[in-house]
Amino acid sequence: DAGVTQSPTHLIKTRGQQVTLRCSPKSGHDTVSWYQQALGQGPQFIFQYYEEEERQRGNFPDRFSGHQFPNYSSELNVNALLLGDSALYLCASSPPFVPNTGELFFGEGSRLTVL
Amino acid sequence: AQKVTQAQTEISVVEKEDVTLDCVYETRDTTYYLFWYKQPPSGELVFLIRRNSFDEQNEISGRYSWNFQKSTSSFNFTITASQVVDSAVYFCALSEGGIFMDTGRRALTFGSGTRLQVQP
């Protein structure tokens, strides 16, 4: 049973460019959340998707957008990249309410470097 | 607003020592969940434990134990007889907004993490 998979694992972009990160949730999970983890910091919540809609959003600008597909996979898009967007982007999935222990399953992340 | 503080940035111990990782949280909600996650060098966050705000019983799982005290808003994590494989960054996290509905759909607020190095 595959866990949460993310792609790409590493990528380098320059300021002003746009990036798309992808996530496939664990089998049976319908909810996908995205977190940004800057170096030496804890993950920060970006947004969450289920039923193909953004349901919750953290304190991130509109340059950060996302999408969820009918198969529950998700994309995170960041436009007009800034140096400060350099971070590890983590995707987490969780199952529907029942059964649900509140545990999030995380992927290994996509490490984005903006030059 | 909710907040999680892990004051210990880095801890270094020698194998077989006991070590406690501190976590202090702030929330205005009366119902919430607390979590501990482990992040090895691979980057993936690994779930260790979840506690709800109504359950202050301490929990032990093998060499791991957790002490939840609402009076001091703390949720500390102890590793007994540490091993080299315990070396990782450990995060404490909080989710607000109820403990009975949509648990997995609550955003987590993480602390800044404690890096644990266990020397052989």
Min CA distance, B78 vs chain A (Å)? 20
Measure the CA–CA gap between B31 and B40, rounded to whole angstroms: 30
Measure the CA–CA gap between B27 and B21, rounded to whole angstroms: 20
The per-residue pLDDT of chain B, averaged, comes to: 91
Task: Determine if residue A32 is left, alpha or beta; phi over 0 gives left, psi from -120 to 50 gives alpha, anything else beta.
Answer: beta
Q: Which of A35, A56, A106 sits opposite B44 (nearest CB)?
A: A106
Whether pLDDT at A1 is above 90: no
Can you give the pLDDT at residue A98? 53
- Kindly state the average pLDDT of the residues A64-82: 97
Residues of B in contact with A94 (CB under 8 A): 104-105
Whether pLDDT at A78 is above 80: yes
Q: What chain A residue is nearest to B41 in terms of C-alpha separation?
A: A108
Interface touch B45/A40, C-beta < 8 Å: no
Interface touch A105/B47, C-beta < 8 Å: yes
Interface touch A102/B111, C-beta < 8 Å: no
Q: What chain A residue is nearest to B52 in terms of C-alpha separation?
A: A102
Q: CA dihedral defined by A53, A50, A45, A34, rounded to 10 degrees?
A: -100
Can you give the pLDDT at residue A103? 78
Residues of A in contact with B47 (CB under 8 A): 103-105
Whether pLDDT at A83 is above 80: yes
Say if residue A70 is preceded by a cis peptide, omega within 30 of 0: no
Per-residue pLDDT reduced to its tens digit, B57-91: 888 889 999 999 999 999 999 999 999 999 999 99
